[in-house]
């Protein structure tokens, strides 16, 4: 019976065949004969190619799409971006599942496949030498790190397995290891990956993981763990032994080394510096082969693998920026907006502000396209409230422009989008460097100049100074001003890319940013009496669109100041805001069936 249970816990689920943009040649893993397969470096290449297709490693984004690093659902319901339905996790509506929830047998299949590779590649190494196989070993280590990071974000403490788990493996019935021991192992994997992987440098894009990509991942994970341990200290989610400074220093060191590579060889390098719409155009491309800021990305190909993002991005895709996000953009002189500033219209909102604002949301100023190649070109004139409860909408009035490929004549038909998806870009690494140094208390003006101020230079914003003044609008009253300003820069630069929920969790910031908050959108009054014909005279009057628009505007609820209440009164009656449980909801629960199979796992805090 014990062996039967073990087999049920960690049964070997082979990778499902799925299309991959740059790696169409894959070996069917369920056909592998270990006695004859592991004979050449090409065997290793074919095996690892399958990992690039795994949605639990690199989100395929074949569904509704977005530019987010973790797929379309990554920032749904954060404080900066919302979906037309509220995020039930943020409202503490989760329950303990019996099975699944990210800890089911199949949820560990990818790890088994990676470890199977690690157990067998040495047969090829013995025949041809390590130099011939190290690239593929580095890729496997990179993907194992991504796998474990995803599990860490969800569950905290984890079992660690670096070899294939058999039916007699002790790990099946062992307790979970403390989270920072798991991150130590991830760091060791990534140290090896950085050593083994080829650097892109100024060479051509190959589609394979590079040394620079592994460094970017390592810095991302080290920052996550360092800040998690720092800000969850003294809570039910604290690490058994706080090692926050060690991980923050690792993040600073790795990010700094990647910046030094950029400074010495010119790659990676920021895209669009000094260009009028350089920031906007970083996020709406179909091909990043020649873009050195984008270190790792996914290509889509018509007839091979496609997405739905371009189908919906012209109408908002069911998402929208919040007033909290809009208020975070500084003025063009580097000073914050004051409470009560003029935000009566979208045009007024963007006036005199950080250019990233108008390059991230649609403004009806005659310069923001919906579909440039249409005849005549179609410009944005109003948010698509004419479907506020669907993907054909923007629920806040602040419709996303960032990531919208406007160069088309019309929306791609369903499932035929080919806009690329970004996984790692150099801009994030610059922010990791600044944040880790700020958290350590060692940041200098020189550090800001080689990191955040490069991002500000791109868009023509004044540099950040180390002696930044306290701002009464800062989100975290108890933190040093420089930490707050660095966090604000991260919020603005990485807006809508899928980082914000992770940031809230690692900063233990739901109490400040989520609990009791009701997300708000733009001022409703600007669209009461709004006439499409006044904004797009070259088009024929669309009476049906006007009628539907007017009906939808009438249905929108507002707060006492006239700002759109995004979820109307569906969120706790429209008066209480989100009910995120800060003693429970920072981690997900372990399914009950898994606790029965292995009582040593123990449940996460608050879920008993």
* 169 and 107 together in one domain: yes
* 219 and 276 together in one domain: yes
The reported pLDDT for the residue numbered 357 is 98
Is residue 347 domain-resident? yes
Is residue 209 domain-resident? yes
User: What angle, 0 to 180 degrees and rounded to 10, lies between the N-to-C axes of helices 426-440 and 481-493?
Assistant: 170
Tens digits of residue pLDDT in 149-171? 999 999 999 999 999 887 667 77
Q: What predicted TM-score, i.e. pTM, was given to this entire model?
A: 0.93
Residue where a domain stops, chosen among 545, 565, 585: 565
d(CA 205, CA 61): 21
| pLDDT band with cut points at 50, 70 and 90 for residue 473 | confident
The reported pLDDT for the residue numbered 171 is 79
* 428 and 399 together in one domain: no
* 162 and 251 together in one domain: no
d(CA 549, CA 393): 11
The reported pLDDT for the residue numbered 64 is 43
d(CA 416, CA 229): 43
| pLDDT band with cut points at 50, 70 and 90 for residue 19 | very low
Tens digits of residue pLDDT in 113-124? 999 999 999 999
- Of 82 and 541, which is predicted with more confidence? 82
Start-to-end C-alpha separation, the chain: 27
* 381 and 489 together in one domain: no
Q: Which residue range(s) make up the domain with 132? A: 1-67+98-176
| pLDDT band with cut points at 50, 70 and 90 for residue 27 | low
Using DSSP's 3-state secondary structure scheme, residue 127 falls into helix
The reported pLDDT for the residue numbered 65 is 44
pLDDT at 3 over 60: no
Provide long-range contacts, Cβ within 8 A and 24+ apart, for 442-451: 442/252, 443/482, 443/486, 450/259, 450/263, 451/259
Average predicted confidence (pLDDT) for the chain: 90
* 38 and 135 together in one domain: yes
* 232 and 274 together in one domain: yes
CA distances from 358 to 348, 363, 365, 459 (A): 11, 7, 10, 11
pLDDT at 72 over 50: no
What are the DSSP E strand ranges found in 364-462?
369-371, 378-379, 421-425
Mean pLDDT, rounded, for 193-209: 97
244-266 burial: b if 16+ Cβ within 10 Å, else e = bebbbbbbbebbbebbebbeeee
| pLDDT band with cut points at 50, 70 and 90 for residue 106 | confident
Is residue 304 domain-resident? no
Provide the percentage of residues in the chain whose pLDDT is more than 70: 90
pLDDT at 12 over 70: no
* 435 and 531 together in one domain: no
Alpha carbons within 13 angstroms on the beta-carbon side of residue 547 total 3
| pLDDT band with cut points at 50, 70 and 90 for residue 15 | very low
Q: Highest-confidence range of 53-67, 536-550, 591-605, by mean pLDDT?
A: 591-605
What are the DSSP E strand ranges found in 566-604?
none
Asked whether the beta carbons of 32 and 9 are under 8 A apart, the reply is no
Q: Which of 171-175, 291-295, 297-301, 555-559 has the lowest mean pLDDT?
A: 171-175
The reported pLDDT for the residue numbered 250 is 98
Is residue 238 domain-resident? yes
Is residue 183 domain-resident? no
Which token pair is 201?
């440098």
| pLDDT band with cut points at 50, 70 and 90 for residue 130 | very high
* 434 and 381 together in one domain: no
Q: How many CB atoms lie within 10 A of CB 528?
A: 11
Is residue 601 domain-resident? no
pLDDT at 391 over 90: no
* 432 and 386 together in one domain: no
The reported pLDDT for the residue numbered 20 is 39
Which token pair is 380?
């944005």
The reported pLDDT for the residue numbered 541 is 57
Is residue 605 domain-resident? no
* 137 and 30 together in one domain: yes
Residue 376, preceding peptide bond in cis (omega within 30° of 0): yes
d(CA 506, CA 516): 19
For the chain, the domain total comes to: 3
* 115 and 17 together in one domain: yes
Using DSSP's 3-state secondary structure scheme, residue 264 falls into helix
Residue where a domain stops, chosen among 176, 206, 228: 176
pLDDT at 415 over 90: no
The reported pLDDT for the residue numbered 414 is 80
d(CA 310, CA 299): 14
Q: Which residues, listed in sequence order, are joined to residue 422 by a DSSP beta bridge? A: 297
Is residue 475 domain-resident? yes
Which token pair is 396?
């806040």
Tens digits of residue pLDDT in 243-290? 999 999 999 999 999 999 999 999 999 999 999 999 999 999 999 999
């Amino acid at each position: 019976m014990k062996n039967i249970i073990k087999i049920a816990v960690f049964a070997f689920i082979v990778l499902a065949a799925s299309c991959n943009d740059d790696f169409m040649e894959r070996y069917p893993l369920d056909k592998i004969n270990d006695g004859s397969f592991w004979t050449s470096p090409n065997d290793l290449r074919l095996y690892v190619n399958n990992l690039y297709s795994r949605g639990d490693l690199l989100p395929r984004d074949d569904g509704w799409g977005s530019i987010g690093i973790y797929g379309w659902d990554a920032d749904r319901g954060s404080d900066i971006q919302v979906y037309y339905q509220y995020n039930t996790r943020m409202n503490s509506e989760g329950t303990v599942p019996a099975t699944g929830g990210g800890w089911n047998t199949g949820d560990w299949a990818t790890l088994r496949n990676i470890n199977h590779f690690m157990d067998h590649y040495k047969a090829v190494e013995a025949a041809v030498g390590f130099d011939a196989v190290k690239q593929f070993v580095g890729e496997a280590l990179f993907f194992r790190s991504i796998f474990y990071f995803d599990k860490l974000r969800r569950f905290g403490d984890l079992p660690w397995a670096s070899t294939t788990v058999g039916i007699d493996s002790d790990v099946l019935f062992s307790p979970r290891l403390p989270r920072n021991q798991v991150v130590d192992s991830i760091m060791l994997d990534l140290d090896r990956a950085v050593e083994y992987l080829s650097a892109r440098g100024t060479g051509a894009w190959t589609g394979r993981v590079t040394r620079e990509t592994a460094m970017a991942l390592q810095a991302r994970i080290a920052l996550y763990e360092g800040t998690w341990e720092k800000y969850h200290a003294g809570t039910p989610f604290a690490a058994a032994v706080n090692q926050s400074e060690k991980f923050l220093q690792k993040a600073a060191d790795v990010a700094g080394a990647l910046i030094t590579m950029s400074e010495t060889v010119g790659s990676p390098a920021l895209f669009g510096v000094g260009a009028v719409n350089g920031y906007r155009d970083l996020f709406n491309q179909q091909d990043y082969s020649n873009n050195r800021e984008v270190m790792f990305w996914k290509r889509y190909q018509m007839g091979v693998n496609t997405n739905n993002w371009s189908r919906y991005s012209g109408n908002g895709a069911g998402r929208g920026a919040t007033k909290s996000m809009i208020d975070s953009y500084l003025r063009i002189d580097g000073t914050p907006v004051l409470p009560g500033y003029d935000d009566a219209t979208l045009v007024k909102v963007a006036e005199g502000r950080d250019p990233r604002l108008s390059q991230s949301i649609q403004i009806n100023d005659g310069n923001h396209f919906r579909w440039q190649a249409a005849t005549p070109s179609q410009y944005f004139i109003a948010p698509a409230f004419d479907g506020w409860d669907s993907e054909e909408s923007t629920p806040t009035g602040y419709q996303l422009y960032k990531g919208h490929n406007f160069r088309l004549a019309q929306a791609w038909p369903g499932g035929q989008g080919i806009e690329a998806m970004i996984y790692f870009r150099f801009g994030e690494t610059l922010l990791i460097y600044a944040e880790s140094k700020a958290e350590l208390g060692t940041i200098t003006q020189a550090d800001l100049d080689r990191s955040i101020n490069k991002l500000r230079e791109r868009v023509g914003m004044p540099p950040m100074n180390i002696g930044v003044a306290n701002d009464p609008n800062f989100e975290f009253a108890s933190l040093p001003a420089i930490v707050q300003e660095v966090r604000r820069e991260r919020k603005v630069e990485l807006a809508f890319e899928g980082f914000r929920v992770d940031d809230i969790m690692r900063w233990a910031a739901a109490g400040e940013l989520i609990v009791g908050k009701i997300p708000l959108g733009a001022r409703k009054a600007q669209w009461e009496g709004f006439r499409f014909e006044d904004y797009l005279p070259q088009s024929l009057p669309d009476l049906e669109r006007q009628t539907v628009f007017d009906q939808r505007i009438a249905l929108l609820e507002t707060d006492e100041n006239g700002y759109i209440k995004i979820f109307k009164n569906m969120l706790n009656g429209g008066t209480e805001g989100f009910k995120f449980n800060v003693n429970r909801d920072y981690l997900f629960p372990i399914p009950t069936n898994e606790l029965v199979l292995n009582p040593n796992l123990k449940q996460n805090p608050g879920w008993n």
